[in-house]
């Protein structure tokens, strides 16, 4: 089964525009960049870089960033928008870099796209230098468990966010704005356990609030926050 990214690449680029979609612009970009600035990495690997938006943001902060993505059309856009950038074809499950190559590895809403997340997290840890950081933004697991249910009207007139089968790992097709892709749901414990098994140490955890944009989206986000942000450190050698 196709994951849908090749077919959805043009629609994805259009949905991001110049500043990213609402979730990135008003929820995730600021806390992600705050963690980057807190550790001052010399170089970074953006795994699943897509059209290169966050790579460009990393470079604007002075970080030498390499972007990796398996979707050729998205890499073409990244190179067009950033001709001097370094964008390479590759998959998270098999990163073509030596051990201990990067101060920072970023997974910005990409773990939900990866079928073999166990291999991917192991690879991200492998290419981190001792003392380096793995910075993850991901869908909150109750959000991914509610992809086919989501917001619904209760009999008393209230709206509630519904989810089911939380502990069952599964992929489901999601569609919006002409994009149709597979997203993977996994319980939060899966991600936490996989990072712990690599010997990584949790140094930051957040469910960031929204700080602007559509007031209705802000209100929904406060009721059922969509994202988690985690930073994991690789212990010094």
For 15-55, write each residue's pLDDT tens digit: 888 888 899 999 999 999 999 999 989 999 999 999 999 99
Q: Per-residue pLDDT for 64 more than 70? A: yes
Other CB atoms closer than 10 Å to residue 219's CB: what's the count? Answer: 10
The pLDDT of residue 26 = 95
Predicted confidence (pLDDT) at residue 123 exceeds the cutoff of 60: yes
Find the mean pLDDT for residues 185-208. Answer: 98
Residue 209 has pLDDT above 70, yes or no: yes
pLDDT of residue 82: 95
Residue 153 Cα to chain centre, angstroms: 30
**Is residue 176 helix, strand or coil?**
strand
199 vs 3: which has the higher pLDDT: 199
Sequence spans of domains, the chain: 5-140+187-233
Class of domain 5-140+187-233: alpha beta
What CA–CA distance (Å, rounded) separates 164 from 162? 7
User: What is the C-alpha separation between 130 and 127, in angstroms, rounded?
Assistant: 9
Residues 52-73 have a mean pLDDT of 96
User: Does the pLDDT of residue 1 top 70, yes or no?
Assistant: no
């Amino acid at each position: 089964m196709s994951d849908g990214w090749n077919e959805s690449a043009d629609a994805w680029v259009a949905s991001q525009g110049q500043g990213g979609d609402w979730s990135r612009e008003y929820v995730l970009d600021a806390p992600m960049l705050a963690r980057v600035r807190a550790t001052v990495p010399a170089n970074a690997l953006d795994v699943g870089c897509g059209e290169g938006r966050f790579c460009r943001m990393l470079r604007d902060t002075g970080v030498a960033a390499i972007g990796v993505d398996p979707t050729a059309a998205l890499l073409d856009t990244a190179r067009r928008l950033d001709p001097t950038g370094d964008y390479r074809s590759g998959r998270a499950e098999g990163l073509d870099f030596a051990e201990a190559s990067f101060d920072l590895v970023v997974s910005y809403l990409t773990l939900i796209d990866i079928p073999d997340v166990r291999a991917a997290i192991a690879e991200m840890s492998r290419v981190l230098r001792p003392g380096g950081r793995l910075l993850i933004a991901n869908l909150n697991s109750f959000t991914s468990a509610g992809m086919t249910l989501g917001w619904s009207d209760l009999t008393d007139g209230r709206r509630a966010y519904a989810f089911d089968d939380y502990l069952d790992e599964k992929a489901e097709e999601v569609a919006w704005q002409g994009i149709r892709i597979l997203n993977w749901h996994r319980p939060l414990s899966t991600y936490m356990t996989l990072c712990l098994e690599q010997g990584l140490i949790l140094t930051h955890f957040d469910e960031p609030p929204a700080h602007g944009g559509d007031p209705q989206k802000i209100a929904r986000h406060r009721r059922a926050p969509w994202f988690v942000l985690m930073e994991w450190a690789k212990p010094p050698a």
